[in-house]
Amino acid sequence: MKKLLLISYYWPPAGGPACQRILSFARYLPEYNWKVVVLTVSNGDYPVRDESLKNIIPPDCPVYKTITREPFSLYRKFLGLKKEEKIPVAVLAQQNCNWKKQFANWIRLNLFVPDARKGWIKHAVKKGKEIVEHEKPDLILSSSPPPSVHLIAEQLAEFAQVPWVTDFRDPWTRIHYYQKNRNSFTEFLDLQLEKRILRNCSGIVSASKGFAELLSIPSQKKYRVITNGYDEPDFPEEKKISPFFRIVHTGSLSPNRFDQKIFLILKELIDRKEIPSEKLEIILIGKIDENIHRKITAFLPVNIIKFKPFAAHNQALQVMQNAELLLLFTENIPGYKGHLPAKMFEYLFTGNFIIGTGDSDSEAAEILSETGHGMISNDLNKISGKIKELFELWEKKEYPVLSPEQTEKYTRKNLSARLAEYLDDLVAESRD
């Protein structure tokens, strides 16, 4: 078997889609002749933790950990936060916040290039050289955010003299929370780093075509799109029946990932008695911005809404599967049509219909249309009509069960097969 050194800041007990993507590579690449060795942190400061993900770490996957030095304890102390309080990435996109948070975010965005995790670089490179000498990898893959992982991989690839692939789950300098928040000198420095990394790496993987287009990829360099996906074995075997028409959203809701139009449509349907409120249940799982929380409860009867905190991945999958309708919010930012929320692929496997508001020509809208599993639109009448239609079918016990056949290419196993093929080609080219 060939051997891959995978460098990622996120690894269990980190939670969320970043960790799930990396874990799936470690889980399935061995089936395609790639043994995975992981380099990660021992004391990571994660926005969310999910201890359940430890249960699916492959037992034969060597995991090397090293300490990291980061400014987040000072950040919490300055803002008066509790030691254990999690810091969501979305905090960097906040505009209407107190002066302390604005100042702290400015420092974080402008004085830490490429990012606030850069304190890991020195420790990771030192440990990485030991791993290279012991494991003898055939290729190195670094997955961001944070972009600091690519600076680590650059040094290790030169040391090991092997090909190196950069995996971008998000853009780098054009990621949404950098917009309007960085000074021109910081932007210039970071852009030069991005260009250097993309020039020096052997291959580039992006989680979407649109995100690849937001990177400074040299014109002569080819990239491969490997989206996020889903794992069929992780889902519960059966859907639990309920007397309510359940509308579900999983994941955090921040100002950039929220559109109140969906909730206004639901309010109108209830007011017109086209959907009786006593037959409706809205379940929102994850961290929700306080202003968004107030807006939702102002629109809708409180007794039909269930706000739940972040849930372990297996619990979130159960709630998704039990739904009748799934809500999807993409980044509400110009030029960000490549945003494919990781949960969308798990939504797809449930067979439940997915509705979102936004550009109908986005990549997410294209996938929903192609699979027949949902829609993204700014046509409020169209959305309202679809929700009413689904509710009426549910009342008649004729709710459509959508076929998973259209979504099979998004299984994490199939996506890992595509990645393995790309890695094979890069290794072969390097040996010619």
**CATH architecture under which domain 2-229+411-431 falls:** 3-Layer(aba) Sandwich (3.40)
**pTM, whole model, 2 decimals?**
0.90
66 vs 95: which has the higher pLDDT: 66
Annotate 299-361 with DSSP letters as a single string.
Answer: HS-GGGEEEE----HHHHHHHHHH-SEEEE----STT-TT---HHHHHHHHHT-EEEEES-TT
pLDDT value of position 160: 97
Model confidence at 101, in pLDDT bands (50, 70, 90)?
low
Is residue 73 predicted with pLDDT exceeding 70? no
pLDDT value of position 17: 86
Structure tokens at 285: 């799982």
Q: Where in the chain is the domain with CATH 3.40.50.2000?
A: 2-229+411-431, 232-409
Structure tokens at 186: 């910081």
Lowest-confidence range among 147-151, 228-232, 329-333?
Answer: 329-333
CA–CA distance, 269 with 392 (Å, rounded to integer): 12
Q: What angle do CA 377, 309, 175 make, to 5 degrees?
A: 50
Lowest-confidence range among 107-116, 255-264, 377-386?
Answer: 107-116
**CATH architecture under which domain 232-409 falls:** 3-Layer(aba) Sandwich (3.40)
pLDDT digits (tens, 9 = 90+) for 144-159: 999 999 999 999 999 9
